Chain A
Amino acid sequence: ETGVTQTPRHLVMGMTNKKSLKCEQHLGHNAMYWYKQSAKKPLELMFVYNFKEQTENNSVPSRFSPECPNSSHLFLHLHTLQPEDSALYLCASSQTGESSGNTIYFGEGSWLTVV
């Protein structure tokens, strides 16, 4: 069983819908991430949060809006998406620091289909 839980596992939404993906980590980590995995591109880092503060936004369009209310929870709010946004969205967490080895632990992902 993974220490990073994502819901929903599957989501179908129209281009005018507003939906959210949720992620929760039970590992006591201080950093959380959103990655996008699509068939046409390698894994893309979208957002990084360290101690609830966003430290990286990898040129992600504003129709994706992350929220990190505490170090255990991470959301990705979705609004007016495009069909090309259909992908597997992976949440991950890690304990950052020199001695941590920077190992990242992933959730099982949320399959998003935009119609």
Chain B
Amino acid sequence: GNSVTQMEGPVTLSEEAFLTINCTYTATGYPSLFWYVQYPGEGLQLLLKATKADDKGSNKGFEATYRKETTSFHLEKGSVQVSDSAVYFCALSGVRSQGNLIFGKGTKLSVKP
């Protein structure tokens, strides 16, 4: 079945450091891929998405490229800020096209000043 694996956290970085959060997936067909972010005490917000191979999603300085050959969708940011501290979830769309998503376990990011 479809699944998402993302790197275990927590990840602790200093401000302005480079961020990579790895995400790999297993899927049949051609799912869409997503990164969601959850700030403390809040629900999930869509951060970025990619709907086909080689697409790059980007938002707020974050980027992720849909790599079919390596079944990956790694999240990157060149210079993190304290305000980026949150939990990041990688997800892929379900194959039954019902719209439900399959989520990874989440990676907690803490950015120190």
Contact = CB atoms under 8 A, between A and B. Distances in A.
Contacts of A98: 97
Interface in A77-95: 88, 90, 92, 94-95
Interface residues of B, number: 22
A40 to B, nearest CB: 11
Interface residues of A, number: 29
Contacts of A113: none
Task: Classify the secondary structure of B's interface with A.
Answer: loop
A30 B72 CA distance: 30
Interface in A1-32: 2, 6, 31
A107 interface: yes
Interface of A: 2, 6, 31, 33, 42-43, 45, 48, 50, 55-56, 88, 90, 92, 94-98, 100-109
